[in-house]
Amino acid sequence: MKKLLFTMLLSSLFGVGSTVVLAEPSIPPFYAAVTKMTPEGKLGQVIRQEKIATSIKGAQAWRIAYISSDIAGRKTIVTGMVIAPTGPVPAGGRPLISWAHGTTGTAQNCGPSQVTDPAVPLNQYFLMSGNSWTDYGVPSVEELIGEGFVVAATDYQGLGGGGRHQYGVSATQGMDAINAARAAGSIKETGANKKALVYGWSQGGGATIAAASMPEYIRQKGTAFDDLDMLGFVAMAPLDLAAAAPKGKIDQAGADAYFSGTFKEFSDSIFNFSHAVMGYWGTQAAFPKLQLSVIMTDEGVQAINQIMTNKCMHVVPDTLNFNFSSTYMNLIKKNPSNTLAWSEAFVKGSIAQVKPVAPVQIYFGTADVTVPPLMHKAYQDQMCQLGGNVGRMQLPGAQNHFTTPPVAKQYYLEWIKDRVAGKPLANGCLEG
């Protein structure tokens, strides 16, 4: 009897079938205060900031909360950080560069700026040098500060500033990256000028190429820092859900094929499946009329809502694996409905079919099984047809999704410096 009672107690506390719903994860005081604020102000306006320590030589850093907006035009509050050189501002000011990070999750505590020491070089979970449960930091930040850049690093909406994160909605994350640059420029201590670039990886690579096709948003007046002069965009293994969509108006047959095709691409492992359901959850956040229940089972909706509200990336697949193991595919309906509306949302939230406002350079590895290289090849083809200048470089060796940023570093740093220096650039469309 005692053994039975003990087993029942353990089951009630830790059992997989437990219905106990935990509160959302706690976040540091800076972010907790921000979530209580209303998103009022100019795009890029800093509504809260605090100085933070950084070990980067010759640098100063701040955590910030600023005003941005999403795919629907709704104002949002986004957190992040700004890192700038110390010392006298050179004549003409300092160029800006905005970093768009890869997938860190969907819960409020998943913003990279929330870690204890965020203003450091990129620290990746999967690499041997990684020392945290998440990816954080900014790639090449030491070199960029040494070259006199002001660096902005958005967390994206929903990752510390309140609201539900629109994961996979590249258009929203592209706006967050643009407004992060505006926010950094509006801080007088940075000494920023109007020259700006955006660089990003994975989810942030999608944000980068989305930002490149937002000429009207970039030129918008009445922001906290008008007249950004975008010089270029660097995208490492960028996500582009629109690239594989049928051209023109999507019909039901096309939507069914597109929806099933994209799901198949991201369902070969529980890790990639985590990205897929995270994308469904984030898309529904951006387009509230969509219903998760038409593509997921009741168990799937309940599980994904609880997981995405409470957990960050890398923890998500572990949780799915522990609770569902090889049965994780049962969380998705065999015959999802309303795929036309979902497909239209994927396309709308992705990259607009608009010529990039400045050159785009893509870096990728042939061993990338997280974001298929064919996805950004299709992007390049589409943008080149529109008259854009889009280069695409295959990195040496069999680079995977996670080795792409460190290996690409030696190439993109020179590319970035050349854009600021105004050096001529060959047409990447003719070389790819």
Task: Name 121's Cβ contacts closer than 8 Å, sequence gap at least 6.
Answer: 137, 138, 139, 140, 141, 142
- Cβ contact 404:201 at 8 Å: yes
Cβ-based neighbour number of residue 42 at 10 Å: 18
Per-chain mean pLDDT for the chain:
93
d(CA 144, CA 138): 10
DSSP string, 252-315: HHHHHHHHHHHHHHT-SSHHHHHHHHHHHHHHHHHSTTS-GGGTB-HHHHHHHHHHHHH-BTTH
Is residue 10 scored above 50 in pLDDT? no
pLDDT band at 355 (very low <50, low <70, confident <90, very high): very high
Both tokens of residue 51?
């100085």
**Chain center to CA of 263:** 19
Residues 29-242+350-431: name the CATH superfamily: Alpha/Beta hydrolase fold, catalytic domain (3.40.50.1820)
pLDDT band at 4 (very low <50, low <70, confident <90, very high): very low
pLDDT band at 243 (very low <50, low <70, confident <90, very high): confident
Q: How many helices (H) and strands (E) does the chain have?
A: 14, 9
Is residue 1 scored above 80 in pLDDT? no
Question: Over the stretch 170-192, which tens digit does the pLDDT of each residue have?
Answer: 999 999 999 999 999 999 999 99
Q: Is the pTM of this model over 0.85?
A: yes
Domains of the chain by residue range = 29-242+350-431, 246-347
d(CA 80, CA 104): 13
The DSSP call for residue 332 is B
Is residue 35 scored above 50 in pLDDT? yes
Go through the chain and tell me how many residues it has: 432
pLDDT (mean) for 287-308: 97
Measured over the CA atoms of residue 138, residue 139, residue 142 and residue 148, the dihedral's sign is negative
d(CA 224, CA 331): 44
Residue-level pLDDT at 23: 60
Ranges 17-31, 70-84, 283-297, 400-414: which has the least confidence = 17-31
